[in-house]
Amino acid sequence: MGNYFKSEELMHIVFITPGFAKNENDTTTIPTLLALANYLTGKGNRISVIALDYPFEQTNYQWKNVKVYSCGGGNRKFPMKFFTLLKAYSLFKKIQAENAVNILHSFWWQDTVAVGNFLSKKFSIPHLTTLMGQDALPSNNYSKWLSAKGKNIVALSESHAKYFEKTFGRKPNQIIPWGIDKNDFLALENTDRTIDIIGVGWLNEIKNYSAFIDVIYLVRENIPQVKSVIVGDGEQRKMLETKIHALQLQNNISIVGLQSRNETLRLMMHSKVLLHTSAFESFGYVFAEAIYAGATIVSSEVGMANSTNALIGNSIEELAEKVCVALTQKQNVDTKSVFTIGQTAKAYLELYSSLQSAQPTKN
């Protein structure tokens, strides 16, 4: 007979993900996934993680109450990727033998989904996928051969769902936003907001920090002493630093590199404005973090920005104007409006339960 669970009953869920924190000091590797895993295990559920590519070495280890099985794939391409997938299958058999799995949950529309689909079919276990970002776009190579037909798919926002529908010709089954863990903010003191503007994210083309610099350049014309900080690192850092010097903005913009999650949130709580110039966002977890930190959001029209009372700008000039408004006029930030990780977990537990109940009985 099949196993049937009510939403409040405990489950063994296997996360299939490209990467996971290598230890408890690693707070920057997919923090949303860490928060969800930590919350679910805190409620008594069992979470096992199969990490395909990161950590780069094959190893099994404990992260808080989560057992992590790393394939050590190191982002290998096909055909070598095939050995990573075989390792994932071998690890899953070990997990299943030790404690029966109720739900397979893959993240990103990529090889993680292929693994989840195979395991679901072979072991008759429900499988769902959470889209995480640019995997909803036509540029995702997996969109060309990995069919979404009949699959259980979750998007992060309305705009994210629309991108996926345009790419794959079908809507995701559900939208579940990522919620923040309020515990992350408990030890942080919110005193003086000594930073005017903060930017947080990878320094790559899609995040568009070149536009961030252009905005600050225009803001400086009205607020000469404006102070801004960019938290992040990436392939465009040298180019961005060169541009800052060329525009003589050294006294107005500091790139502080990749910081721990705790330090990033501390800087956010000391900032007046989050400026987000990204060309694309599936959701924008940084929006939720900034709101709870009490910062006003000024953003391009991406992800969940429209649903956060953000000041939206569709050009460098509009964004600069909105930043000046945010810095010179009092803004009300509703920190209570933020979705919490508890709400995210509750939505997933209900979805897990419905998928488990709908699973055909295996004779």
SS (H, E, C) 207-254: CCHHHHHHHHHHHHHHCCCCCEEEECCCCCHHHHHHHHHHCCCCCCEE
Tally of domains in the chain = 2
For residue 352, with 0-12 CB atoms within 10 Å meaning exposed, 13-18 middle and 19 or more buried, which class applies?
A: buried
Tell me if 279 is assigned to some domain.
Answer: yes
At residue 334, the pLDDT reads: 78
Whether residues 23 and 120 share a domain: the answer is yes
Q: What Rg do the C-alpha atoms of the chain give, in angstroms?
A: 21
Whether residues 217 and 130 share a domain: the answer is no
At residue 106, the pLDDT reads: 98
Whether residues 271 and 325 share a domain: the answer is yes
Tell me if 3 is assigned to some domain.
Answer: no
Tell me if 104 is assigned to some domain.
Answer: yes
Tell me if 4 is assigned to some domain.
Answer: no
At residue 308, the pLDDT reads: 74
- Mean pLDDT for back-to-back runs of 10 residues, the chain (363 residues): 50 98 94 96 97 97 97 91 95 96 97 97 97 93 88 94 92 95 80 92 96 98 97 97 98 96 93 95 91 92 82 96 94 82 97 88 55
Question: What are the Cα distances from residue 263, in Å, to 23, 135, 194, 251, 301?
Answer: 18, 29, 15, 22, 27
DSSP 20: -
Q: Is the peptide bond prior to 18 cis by the omega test (within 30 degrees of 0)?
A: no
At residue 361, the pLDDT reads: 60
Amino acid at 9: E
At residue 1, the pLDDT reads: 33
At residue 143, the pLDDT reads: 84
Q: What is the pTM of this model?
A: 0.89
Whether residues 307 and 348 share a domain: the answer is no
* Phi and psi, residue 177, nearest 5°: -70, 155
Tell me if 115 is assigned to some domain.
Answer: yes
Whether residues 155 and 259 share a domain: the answer is no
Cβ atoms 282, 303 nearer than 8 A: yes
Whether residues 137 and 39 share a domain: the answer is yes
For residues 307 and 179, what is the distance between their CA atoms, to the nearest angstrom? 14
Whether residues 328 and 353 share a domain: the answer is no
Question: What are the Cα distances from residue 156, in Å, to 100, 217, 282?
Answer: 29, 33, 6
Whether residues 174 and 194 share a domain: the answer is no
Whether residues 206 and 301 share a domain: the answer is yes
Tell me if 289 is assigned to some domain.
Answer: yes
> 310 is written with which tokens?
């953000």
Tell me if 156 is assigned to some domain.
Answer: yes
Region of residue 284 (phi > 0: left; psi between -120 and 50: alpha; otherwise: beta): left
At residue 363, the pLDDT reads: 47
Tell me if 112 is assigned to some domain.
Answer: yes
Whether residues 130 and 261 share a domain: the answer is no
Whether residues 29 and 153 share a domain: the answer is yes
Whether residues 210 and 269 share a domain: the answer is yes
The CATH number covering residue 132 comes to 3.40.50.2000
Which residues touch 297 (CB under 8 Å, ≥6 apart)?
A: 273, 274, 276, 287, 290, 291, 305, 308, 309, 310, 311
At residue 2, the pLDDT reads: 38
Region of residue 256 (phi > 0: left; psi between -120 and 50: alpha; otherwise: beta): alpha
For residues 111 and 301, what is the distance between their CA atoms, to the nearest angstrom? 30
Distance of CA 96 to the CA centre of its chain: 27
Q: Give the sheet arrangement for strand 12-19, strand by strand.
A: 59-63, 66-70, 46-54, 12-19, 103-107, 127-130, 152-155, 174-175
Domain that holds residue 53: 12-179+341-358
